Amino acid sequence: MSWSLRVPSASPEETRALAAHLASAAHPGDVIVLAGSLGAGKTTFAQGFAHGLGVRGPVTSPTFTLVRQYPCALGQLVHADIYRLDQLAEVADLGIAELVEHGVALVEWGNVATPALAPVTWTIEITKDAESDDGRTLTVRGDVDDRRDAVVAALGPALEAR
Ligand SMILES: Nc1ncnc2c1ncn2[C@@H]1O[C@H](COP(=O)(O)OP(=O)(O)OP(=O)(O)O)[C@@H](O)[C@H]1O
Ligand SMILES: [Mg+2]
């Protein structure tokens, strides 16, 4: 059965910290989709997630390079952004399903092309709050029941609704 959990974030730093916590619940082979409008905070989330997996140095947007890879605690962290691709075949050509065999993948805008990815472990949707410029709500959705508890443990008291 699918599940979803919501977490508020009041700042980019908080989004990075939440992402770093969530990284502790990731396993090799996980494909994590980052959804949300332009500037919602998908790359900001990826920076925190990478930091949580021990990636040193800057993590920058892959909007133009499409895929960046970083050695990390779970093998390779694959960070992709498929915004500029408009065919499922182009997304499939990135080879995320093969790359993730050696680590974990974060795919910005991956929600528009799930058939071209390996099975998605979680989707993190980031929405901007209406009342404050820096307010965001992160919704974590997953389909694998036994992974929900790991996410709850990783996010802990930050969770808004269970
Ligand atoms: N709570 C927050 N969480 C994340 N980012 C925030 C937050 N508040 C403000 N921001 C700002 O919003 C911007 C988010 O930019 P970012 O590049 O992460 O978005 P994105 O979703 O990856 O955009 P794109 O669709 O262009 O790839 C940054 O300037 C960041 O500092
Ligand atoms: Mg981005």
**Ligand 1, CB within 6 Å, residue ranges:** 9, 11-12, 14-15, 36, 38-44, 61, 63, 81, 108, 134, 136
Report the CATH superfamily, name and number, of domain 3-158.
P-loop containing nucleotide triphosphate hydrolases (3.40.50.300)
Angle at 10 between CA 19 and CA 13, to 5 degrees: 45
Pair of tokens at residue 119? 């099975």
Residue 91: count other Cβ atoms within 10 Å of its Cβ. Answer: 23
Per-domain residue ranges for the chain?
Answer: 3-158
Q: What is the pLDDT along the chain (162 residues), one digit of tens a residue?
A: 899 999 999 999 999 999 999 999 999 999 999 999 999 999 999 999 999 999 999 999 998 899 999 999 999 999 999 999 999 999 999 999 999 999 999 999 999 999 999 899 999 999 999 999 999 999 999 987 779 999 999 998 778 654
- In ligand 1, the atom with minimum distance to the C-alpha of 44 is 18
The one-letter code for the residue type at 88 is L
Q: Whose CA is nearest to atom 10 of ligand 1?
A: 12
- In ligand 1, the atom with minimum distance to the C-alpha of 126 is 21
Alpha-carbon dihedral 41, 47, 49, 55, rounded to 10 degrees: 170
- Edge-to-edge strand list for the sheet holding 3-9: 3-9, 136-142, 122-128, 31-35, 103-108, 75-81, 67-72
Query: What per-residue confidence (pLDDT) applies to 156?
Result: 87
Q: Whose CA is nearest to atom 6 of ligand 1?
A: 12
- In ligand 1, the atom with minimum distance to the C-alpha of 38 is 25
Query: What per-residue confidence (pLDDT) applies to 161?
Result: 52
